[in-house]
Amino acid sequence: MVRGCFHFMLVGMLAFVLAGCATSRGSNDYVAQTGSLVQEVPDWSTLTDGSSVSSLSDLIQSDTLSGLVQQAIEANPGLQQTLLTLRIREAEWQQARSDRLPDVDAGLSGSKAESEDEIYTGSISVSWELDLWQKIADESSAASKDVEQQLALYQAARDTLAADVMRSWLGLIADQHAIAIQQERLLTLESNETLILQRYRNGLGPLEDLDSARSSTLSARATLENYRESLAQNERALRLLLGDVPSSGSEAPGRYPAVLTPLAELPSQTLNRRPDLIAAYQAVEAADYRSSAAYKDLLPSISLEAALEDVADSPTEALLKDPIWTLLGQLTMPLFRGGELRAAAEAAELTTAQAYQSYRETLLTAVQEVEDAIGLERSLGIREQHISDALNRQEDTLTYYQSSYRSGLVDILDLLSVQQDTYDLKAQLDELKYLRLANRIDLGLALGLGVNP
């Protein structure tokens, strides 16, 4: 018996050596290459100021907004689907881990033939594949990386959802401001109509001026209705983000809150905490493990099986009271599969290369997002200052033209043009303020800031 086992092991070892010489992986270490890419990113463009914050929630101090973000995280259906995908990956990982353990099966069967007594057979079998090449371990590790990847994707989805809610909340404030500015414009235009009528009755101006004024008033009313509908639609869009049935009703205050500018730290500090990059890196590791397992499919495998079996005339006597045991060792080596296993191994290695390129693309996109947000913060600040200065000068011009029109020095068309420019500058300035605050949220998201678990 011992001698037979020795011969079996000797043949097995010889087969292992031959198989090992016949299988080899590519020379590209994609995992190591992926890990070094972040170190090659140059420092960010500098901002004049910035605050050191640890999460997106720190950018805006508002209990109302924090409650909305929390509601979205708990109720948004898209995010819940991502969470369920994570739970599926965890179950698949547990399934892959179980392949490393022995399988134990128990059976009880009964049969009866004509003119014969009933026969019952009870059995217990244990089977186990020896993981000499760590193939099963690689498959389990790949499943573990799938879980880590999905966890990072879930965090990325949480962060993106929180940023969407914050931007939408600021957008409601911007819509309210746009409506307020348009209402102010409309009041001014209506006052023009009253003034024109008074001047006409006093013989100081033609009645034709009233047509121009009324045309501007009607156009302003149409624009105001458009702004109101836009506000209603954005309110419904926010409710959808919150996972709630769309309804009317403002969720935002009347004024813009203070929004901090996040500090742009070194790329190695910011990029390594971005969940989308973490997920892409885990995808490379998972693909690398699967590539290793695919090449090991070309190698021999050894499986052991032990069984206890008992045959008796009754079920109680068949419960292994006097069983017969058997032990089977099996060596299996693929000799010819038409190139199937080799092609599968090469495909797995190409999948790893593909995951590596996907990581590079994600990294380049991340760098662009940070630089774009930094540049936009600077540009919006300059534009906001210029428009603010222009508005101050324009308001002085408006005061002059209003006085000149009452004195008959300018006609109504000149006054309407100056009024139009004034309110356009007000609307433009408010839009720039909104864009700058919303961009700070985008910058925080690009720098890897998220919401706390």
Per-residue model confidence (pLDDT) at position 205 = 63
- Give 194-214 pLDDT, tens digit per residue: 877 876 676 666 666 778 888
Among 59, 117, 38, CA closest to 436: 59
CB 343 within 8 A of CB 327: no
Q: Which domain holds residue 240?
A: 30-101+135-298+350-446
Domain assignment present for residue 323? The answer is no
- Given a cut of 80, is residue 105 above it in pLDDT? yes
Give the Å distances, CA to CA, from 199 to 187, 205, 399, 401: 18, 5, 18, 16
| Residue 96 burial (CB count, 10 A) | 19
User: Which tokens belong to 419?
Assistant: 């009024």
pLDDT band at 48 (very low <50, low <70, confident <90, very high): low
- Residue 290 in any domain: the answer is yes
Intra-chain end-to-end CA distance of the chain, in Å: 60
SS (H, E, C) 429-453: HHHHHHHHHHHHHHHHHHCCCCCCC
Cβ neighbors of 85 (< 8 A, separation 6 or more) are 150, 153, 154
Cβ count near 135 (within 10 Å): 19
Q: Nearest Cα to 163, choosing from 76, 48, 265, 51?
A: 76
Provide the edge-to-edge strand list for the sheet that holds 119-130: 103-111, 119-130, 301-312, 324-332
16 φ/ψ angles, rounded to the nearest 5 degrees:
-60, -45
The verdict on residue 453 lying in a domain is no
Phi, psi (rounded to 5 degrees) for 310: -140, 135
Chain centroid to CA 250: how far? 27
Task: Mean pLDDT check: name the lowest of 71-85, 89-103, 247-261, 351-365.
Answer: 247-261
User: Contact, 31 vs 352, CB < 8 A?
Assistant: no
Is residue 69 one of the residues assigned to a domain? yes
Q: Is the pLDDT of residue 20 over 60?
A: no
pTM of the model: 0.85
CATH number at residue 69: 1.20.1600.10
Average pLDDT over residues 425-444: 96
Beta-carbon contacts of 52 under 8 Å, excluding residues fewer than 6 positions away, are 263
C-alpha 218/C-alpha 193 separation (Å) is 12
Q: Which residue has the higher pLDDT, 128 or 177?
A: 177
**Are the CB atoms for 444 and 205 separated by under 8 Å?**
no
Give the separation between CA 337 and CA 431, rounded to whole angstroms. Answer: 66
Is 247 among the domain residues? yes
Q: How many CA atoms lie within 13 A of 350 on its CB side?
A: 6
Q: Are 156 and 279 in contact (CB under 8 A)?
A: yes
User: Is 228 among the domain residues?
Assistant: yes
**CB neighbours (10 Å) of residue 248?**
9
Task: Fill in the amino acid letter for 364.
Answer: L
User: What is the pLDDT confidence band of residue 5, given thresholds at 50, 70 and 90?
Assistant: very low
322 in a structural domain: no
As a whole-number percent, the residues of the chain with pLDDT over 70 amount to 86
> How many structural domains is the chain composed of?
1
Q: pLDDT-based confidence at 296, cuts 50/70/90? A: confident
Average confidence score pLDDT of the chain: 85
Specify the pairing of strand 324-332 against strand 103-111.
unpaired
Domain membership of residue 335 (yes or no) is: no
